[in-house]
Amino acid sequence: MTDKNPRDKGTLLLAFITGLAINGSFSVLFNSFVPFSIFPLIALGLAAWCLHQRYLNRAMPEGMPSLAAAFFLLGILLYSAIVRADYPEIGSNFLPVVLMVALIFWIGTRLRRRR
């Protein structure tokens, strides 16, 4: 394997965590069903700062920005599905789960093409 592969995985992981944290922060601040916690806000700040530093200090390989955006959306959809499963009063989690599955298949095909 090449040396760039672990850095690519780190960028994708940070994008995923940023998606989770942004939806968690939004839910904590604006959703009355979800109890308040400071931790999603802290996680959002740290993950966004680390992702920004990675963007400034390293060049992204071809195809990485679209994969990072897909992982970001995957994090948003995953948190939304989990919160809707915990609090069914909010609504059904059918649409986030279907979008997540489609996004996972798209990510899988893009990762196979990169190899």
What tens digit of pLDDT does each residue of 5-63 get?
Answer: 555 889 999 999 999 999 999 999 999 999 999 999 999 999 999 999 998 998 888 88
pLDDT attached to residue 61: 86
- Give the number of other CB atoms < 10 A from CB of residue 81: 19
pLDDT attached to residue 38: 97
Structural domain boundaries enclosing 51 = 4-114
pLDDT attached to residue 3: 46
pTM of the model: 0.89
Alpha carbon distance 104, 56 (integer Å): 27
Number of domains forming the structure of the chain:
1
pLDDT attached to residue 4: 53
pLDDT attached to residue 63: 85
